[in-house]
Amino acid sequence: MTRINEKTRFHPMPDGGPASPEGFAAGGLHCGIKRKRPDLGWIYSEVPAAAAAVYTTNRFQAAPLRVTQDSLAVEGKLQAVLVNSGIANACTGEKGLADAYAMRRLFAERIGIPNHLVAVASTGVIGEPLPMANIQIGISKIHPAAADPDLFNRAILTTDTVTKHVAARTTIGGRTVTIGGAAKGSGMIHPNMATMLAFLTTDAAVEGAALQNELKAVTEETFNMITVDGDTSTNDMVILMANGRAGHAPIAPGHADWPAFMETLKFVCRTLAKAIARDGEGATKLIEVDVQGAPSHEAAKAIAKSVVGSNLVKTAVCGADANWGRIVCAVGYSGCPVDLNKLTVAFGSVTVLKNGTPLPFDEAAAETVLSGETVPIHIKLGDGEGCAVAWGCDMTADYVKINASYRT
């Protein structure tokens, strides 16, 4: 049995992914949506799995989200997911919706399961129709026996520069349980679900209602705490499937092993969320904003997201400039009541403002912190027990270059 870390109650598997849990397979291929790279990915469970999903808050939800919601509404289960990249199938009218339903039907027929057990996802350019002839040919080539998790990880990418995947193991009911996941996201990333897709799988047996409630809660603390550019997309969602193949009795909140399950799920989601933020379009650094001492948890979240989303903060980090005034400014317009006389700001271990008073600090030491691959910003408010962490990235000239020619 996998040795579990006694402090964390889970064992990280950095090379893992959605095919790591028992009974899951994943793969991908090139069907011709993109010029050369894999663009059609799939996940398959040997048995129907309890499933949950969280969707973008953009009012113009793309056709695949509507189809996936329709699938889950039947019995709250999924057995497979089909994903295409390159074209988002968003703002494509009734034809786009019909194409999304056709993707679901064709994949269900291919692997021999009911239509409602298939979820569909798309990502890419908005407003263009799917090349359904290419997709149909691609689906005809899918077979769970020909699985290749790396191809799935690559098939879901758009402007991402790296694949994003991880898994972790814990113990439930004396059985080894695995939670795995893969995600994509690089631009049009903003809290409250953005241009990102995340696919999570586990061989744990979890009651369906608990799965939905906890996925929403974990998403709030992880995927909804990242930002790259402030744009919330039309397409994106997080899907979690639990097929029960680990062989333990179903669990729910209150079970002795529920904390271990949740800690493992949070680790997987947090790892993927940070990977998305780190891979922001044109980014060179991950920014981590840690807020402590807020009057409430919600206030801490709002302040952390305000700072990490500030373009002035992001550009200062890009230039390794310890311009702490920009951080104070972002705290001030967060909408949360803050007493400046209690506000403390630090770059790593370099404190630049304490209880509202500027401090002389070592510019070279601050520049060293700001030049690292991960830039920690600590904010203390001295006004309560609320705390939160948000993640983002620096903004470089390459972000403009990438988005100025996204369609070409």
Contact 374, 285 (CB under 8 A): yes
Sign of CA dihedral 30, 31, 35, 40: negative
CATH number, domain of 331, equals 3.10.20.340
Residues 253 and 191 in one domain: yes
Domain with 240, as residue range(s), is: 11-278
At 343-379, the pLDDT tens digits run: 999 999 999 999 999 999 999 999 999 999 999 999 9
Give 349-353 contacts, CB < 8 A, sequence gap 24+: 350/322, 352/322, 352/324, 353/324, 353/328
Given this model, what pLDDT does residue 280 score?
A: 73
Average pLDDT of the chain, as a whole number: 91
Residues 237 and 334 in one domain: no
| Whether the predicted pLDDT of 408 surpasses 70 | no
Mean local confidence (pLDDT), 204-228: 90
Residues 132 and 31 in one domain: yes
Residue 54 lies in a domain: yes
Residues 250 and 346 in one domain: no
Residues 70 and 216 in one domain: yes
Given this model, what pLDDT does residue 61 score?
A: 83
Residue 283 pLDDT class (50, 70, 90 cuts): confident
Q: Measure the CA angle with vertex 360, ends 355 and 362; round to 5°.
A: 125
Residues 168 and 244 in one domain: yes
pTM for the structure as a whole: 0.89
3-state secondary structure of 63: helix
Residue 6 lies in a domain: no
Q: How many domains, the chain? A: 2
Residues 239 and 362 in one domain: no
At 88-112, the pLDDT tens digits run: 999 999 999 999 999 999 999 999 9
Domain boundary among 231, 259, 278: 278
Residue 1 lies in a domain: no
Given this model, what pLDDT does residue 193 score?
A: 38
**Length of the chain counted residue by residue:** 408
**Is residue 57 annotated as a catalytic residue, yes or no?**
no
Given this model, what pLDDT does residue 39 score?
A: 97
Domain boundary among 214, 249, 278: 278
Residues 83 and 232 in one domain: yes
CATH number, domain of 270, equals 3.60.70.12
Residue 4 lies in a domain: no
Residue 84 pLDDT class (50, 70, 90 cuts): very high
Q: Measure the CA angle with vertex 222, ends 367 and 81; round to 5°.
A: 130
Token look-up 């949950």 returns: 52
Q: Which residue among 158, 195, 222, 396 is the active-site one?
A: 195
Which range is least confidently modeled, 98-107, 135-144, 398-407?
Answer: 398-407
| Whether the predicted pLDDT of 243 surpasses 80 | yes
Residue 388 lies in a domain: yes
Given this model, what pLDDT does residue 332 score?
A: 95
Given this model, what pLDDT does residue 60 score?
A: 75
Given this model, what pLDDT does residue 407 score?
A: 59
Residues 297 and 268 in one domain: no
Residues 122 and 242 in one domain: yes
Domain boundary among 278, 313, 338: 278
Residues 305 and 188 in one domain: no
Residue 2 lies in a domain: no
Residue 192 pLDDT class (50, 70, 90 cuts): very low
Residue 3 lies in a domain: no
Ranked by mean pLDDT, the top range of 124-128, 235-239, 320-324, 334-338 is 320-324
Residues 263 and 400 in one domain: no
Given this model, what pLDDT does residue 251 score?
A: 96
Which range is least confidently modeled, 86-95, 234-243, 355-364, 382-391?
Answer: 234-243
Give 2-5 contacts, CB < 8 A, sequence gap 24+: 2/169, 2/176, 4/169, 4/170, 4/171
Q: What are phi and psi of 319, to 5 degrees?
A: -90, 5
